[in-house]
Structure 1
Amino acid sequence: MQPSEMLCRQRELKRVVRPSHMYLKEVEFYNYYGRPCDHELVNYLVENAIALEKLVVNPCEEAYFSDGMKRLMEPRERALQQLKGKLPSRIELVIN
């Protein structure tokens, strides 16, 4: 699948009642680029993984986003800007 095919598209959000992810303690997020869907997934995890203690973010590499995607800033810098200080204190944030 090409990176251009993986772009997030606008969609209607629906609230679905499901059991919380009660036992999920650590999440490792690969290829974080800072798109709205990346941020939406982090917010979903914070709200629904009630035992979440650690979020490890691995920003995407330059080769991943240089093909057809406008480069605004480095993915690591964007992850820091979007997430640092915005997660509950119970969740440790690690950005590689």
Structure 2
Amino acid sequence: MRRLNRKKTLNLMKELDAFPKVPESYVETSVSGGTVSLIAFTTIAFLTVMEFTVYRDTWMKYEYEVDKDFTSKLRINIDITVAMRCQCKYCSSESFETL
């Protein structure tokens, strides 16, 4: 019983064609079309090989060095937000609470 279901499923999958074939009468081959196809295929293959070559040959070299300049200063910018009540004479306590 199970084998019959598998055969039916397999046949259904073989018959299923999401992209129906174009009738032969619509297809017209030409030398220029074949030439364009060959050039496109060759270009894509060449670019693929070159990209793979660049990927294989690229490597990273890490170098670490001690900073010997003791007189230099490291500049650090810090943004600080302090949640305090506004004590400005132009501000009211209501405006702070609505924020």
The bucket for the TM-score relative to the shorter chain is under 0.3
| TM-score normalised by L of structure 2 | 0.17
Between Structure 1 and Structure 2, the one with more strand by share is 1
Kindly name which structure, 1 or 2, has the bigger radius of gyration based on alpha carbons: 2
Q: Give the structure, 1 or 2, with the largest relative contact order (CA under 8 Å, sep 6 or more).
A: 1
Between Structure 1 and Structure 2, the one with more helix by share is 2
| TM-score normalised by L of structure 1 | 0.18
